[in-house]
Amino acid sequence: MLDQSLDIRAERLNERYRHHAATEVLRRAVTDPDLGKVALVSSFGAESVVLLHMVSIVAPGLPVLFIDTQMLFPETLEYQREVSAKLGLTDVRVIRADEAQVSRLDPDGTLHQFNQDACCDLRKTVPLETALSGFDAWITGRKRFQGGQRTDLDFFEPEPPLRLRVNPLAHWRMEDVQTYMTENNLPRHPLVAKGYPSIGCAPCTSPVKPGEDPRAGRWRGSDKSECGIHFIGGRMVRGKVPA
C-alpha cells in the first residue's frame, strides 16, 4: 500500500534520483513502488516527442493520455497518429470531455471567447482528472527553462490529495530538447516550422514573432499563461504544487 504522505514520498524520490539523468528517472519511475500506477500525459505538442520517444524505449506499453479538446489543430491530430505509430506506443488513450457537459456548457463552441479558464476546465481539466482517477502518478514534460514558477521544479512533486507528478525533463535546457530530437531523428510537429513553438488549441494559439517568448502565442492578449491541466482544487498551478 502506498504511503499517503505525498510530501514525504516526493522528498524521498527526489533524494533517490537526484543525480540521475532524465531517461533513468523515467525508466526507474515507471516501476518504483513509491509511485504506484503511472501514466504519461502528452499534448503531442512541439516538444512532446522527446518524452514519448523515451517511453517507447523504456516502457512502450505505458498508458499515454492524450486530451483531444475537439479544438485542436488538424496538424496536431495527424501528428498524434503519426508519432504513436512510428514509436510503437501500444496504449495511447484519447481523452475527451463528456458530450452532455459540452452541450450544456459550450453548445456553440464559443466559451473560450469570454472565459478561457472555464473552457480549459471543461475540455481539459475535468476529462484529465477523470482519466487519471485510476493512477497514483503522472508524467509531465514541464521544464525549469520554461520560466515563471517552473524555475524550481523537482523531478517529483506532490499533487494533493492523492497523486504525484513526475517531471523527468525538469533540469533540461532548450538546447537539450533540440539536440535529443536531432540525434534521435524524431518527427517534428509541422506547426513548429510555421512559427508555433508552443501549440495548444487552434482558437487560442497564434504564431510567435522573432524575439518573442516561445509561449507568447498562447492566449495572446490575455494574462493567461497555463493550460487547464495544472488546475488543482479550482486554482491554477503554474509551478511547484503547494502541499
Residues with a catalytic annotation lie at 227
- Between CA 93 and CA 96 the distance in angstroms is 10
Q: Which residue has the cell 492578449?
A: 221
Grid coordinates representing 12? 524521498
Strand pairing report for 38-41 and 64-67:
parallel
Best CA proximity match to 200, nearest among 101, 130, 123: 123
Q: Left (φ > 0), alpha (ψ -120 to 50) or beta: where does 108 sit?
A: alpha
For residues 143 and 154, give the distance between their C-alpha atoms in angstroms, rounded to a whole number: 9
Other C-beta atoms closer than 10 Å to the C-beta of 224 total 15
Look at residue 205 and give its three-state secondary structure.
Answer: strand
3-class SS of residue 45: coil
Best CA proximity match to 87, nearest among 184, 182, 183: 184
Q: Which residues are annotated as a binding site for [4Fe-4S] cluster?
A: 119-120, 201, 204
Nearest 5°: the CA angle 209, 210, 212 is 70
Give the whole-angstrom CA distance, residue 241 versus residue 149. Answer: 10
- Binding-site entries: 119-120, 201, 204
List Cβ neighbours of 109 (8 Å cut-off, separation of 6 or more).
Answer: 71
